[in-house]
């Protein structure tokens, strides 16, 4: 175990499953193919943000917080899982959405309220404006005698996937799963930087592939490098220089940009559902799995070097994404969207 000084509020009591995808292996004609099921967690339908929340909530409790504040879009997994984890920790939660409260956004945010969070819709403001409004709300809560903690510090959140990298390496050895390559979504950075840092601390047993779902390569690489370097400074752990690490960036599945499905990502949703019974959602996991299948079928990942894709969760948001399905509409000959 690493000596990480930060407090950790335990939300994951067992490792998430590491499984072979044998039906997908048969479809693609290559074996073995592994998936790390971080969508299989006990709280809130699971997902990568629970690993971060162990440390965010640890920090909140250390500070004596009695309410946590979190911001994101109505479909935000971070918002949903913060609301769920706060209920487990006995903390109040306020969720802020930069959206208007119309039927679609209310449906997408439904679980936040179910977990007991107060939900505030801020209108169509930018992320920067949203951050200012959250800080103002925290100041108002302090004036009322409350002790708020704002969820989202990238360095604290990244600690969760430092542990995640160690967990996967232990599983790979104990299950005799000779994993060499790991595929992750490339997005905001804490998950990716944390995993890369944890991998580096173990002498890089895995080669890491990031399938961008949000940023161009230069922006994505700079974002992850910054968090990685800050992690080294924060933890005091000796890690190799980021520029000396072998990290692959894959941009072919970004498509028109964040939140815009591609033909390949929709195909990935259907393929995984109909081979492994695994559900993906459009924004993050569908593009990541599409990239994973590309890498193995093109042999960009060599056939004798087993790969693993990390399912980072977000499954709940799939039920607010009917309008994004196009191939299924063509297949069915009718609209899929509810109310269409």
Listed in order, the ranges of the chain carrying CATH 3.40.50.1100 are 18-47+154-332, 66-146
What does CATH list as the number for 66-146? 3.40.50.1100
Q: What is the pLDDT of residue 176?
A: 86
- Name which CATH class applies to 18-47+154-332: alpha beta
SS (H, E, C) the chain: CCCCCCCCCCCCCCCCCEEECHHHHHHHCCCCCEEEECCCCCCCCCECHHHHHHHHHHHHHHCCCCEEEEEECCCCHHHHHHHHHHHHHCCEEEEEECCCCCHHHHHHCHHHHHCCCEEEECCCCCHHHHHHHHHHHHHHHHHCCCCEEECCCHHHHHHHHHHHHHHHHHHHHHCCCCCCEEEEEECCCHHHHHHHHHHHHCCCCCEEEEEECCCCHHHHHHHHHHHHHHHHHHHCCCCCCHHHCCEEEECCCCCCCCCCCCHHHHHHHHHHHHHCCCCCCCCCHHHHHHHHHHHHHCCCCCCCCCEEEEECECHHHHHHCHHHCCHHHHHHCCCCCCCC
Please list the pLDDT of the chain residue by residue as tens digits (340 residues): 577 899 999 999 999 999 999 999 999 999 999 999 999 999 999 999 999 999 999 999 999 999 999 999 998 999 999 999 999 999 999 999 999 999 889 988 999 999 999 999 999 999 999 999 999 999 999 999 999 999 999 999 999 999 999 999 999 999 888 999 999 999 999 999 999 999 999 999 999 999 999 999 999 999 999 999 999 999 999 999 999 998 999 999 999 998 888 999 999 999 999 999 999 998 899 999 999 999 999 999 999 999 999 999 988 877 777 666 665 556 555 455 544 3
């Amino acid at each position: 175990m690493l000596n990480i000084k930060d407090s950790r509020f335990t939300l994951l009591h067992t490792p998430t499953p590491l499984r072979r995808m044998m039906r997908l292996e048969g479809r693609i004609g290559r074996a073995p193919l592994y998936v790390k099921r971080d969508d299989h967690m006990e709280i809130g339908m699971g997902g990568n943000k629970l690993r971060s929340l162990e440390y965010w909530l640890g920090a909140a409790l250390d500070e004596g917080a009695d309410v946590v504040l979190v911001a994101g879009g109505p479909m935000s997994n971070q918002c949903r899982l913060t609301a769920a984890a706060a209920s487990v920790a006995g903390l109040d939660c306020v969720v802020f959405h930069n959206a208007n409260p119309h039927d679609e956004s209310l449906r997408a945010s439904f679980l936040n309220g179910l977990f007991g969070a107060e939900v505030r819709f801020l209108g169509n403001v930018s992320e920067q404006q949203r951050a200012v409004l959250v800080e103002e709300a925290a100041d108002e809560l302090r004036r009322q005698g409350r002790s708020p903690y704002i969820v989202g510090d990238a360095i604290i959140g990244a600690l969760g996937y430092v542990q995640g990298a160690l967990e996967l390496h232990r599983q790979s050895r104990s299950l005799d799963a000779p994993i060499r390559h790991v595929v992750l979504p490339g997005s905001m950075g804490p998950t990716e930087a944390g995993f890369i840092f944890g991998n580096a601390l173990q002498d890089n047993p895995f080669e890491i592939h990031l399938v961008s779902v949000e940023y161009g390569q230069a922006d994505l690489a700079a974002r992850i490098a910054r968090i990685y370097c800050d992690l080294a400074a924060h933890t005091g752990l000796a890690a190799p220089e980021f520029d000396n690490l072998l990290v692959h960036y894959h941009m072919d599945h970004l498509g028109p940009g964040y939140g815009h499905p591609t033909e390949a990502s929709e195909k990935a949703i259907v393929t995984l559902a109909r081979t492994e019974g695994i559900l993906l959602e459009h924004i993050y996991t569908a593009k990541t799995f599409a990239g994973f299948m590309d890498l193995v079928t093109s042999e960009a990942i060599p056939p004798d070097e087993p790969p693993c894709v990390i399912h980072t969760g977000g499954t709940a948001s799939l039920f607010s994404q009917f309008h994004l399905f196009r191939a299924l509409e063509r297949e069915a000959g009718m609209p899929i969207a509810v109310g269409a």
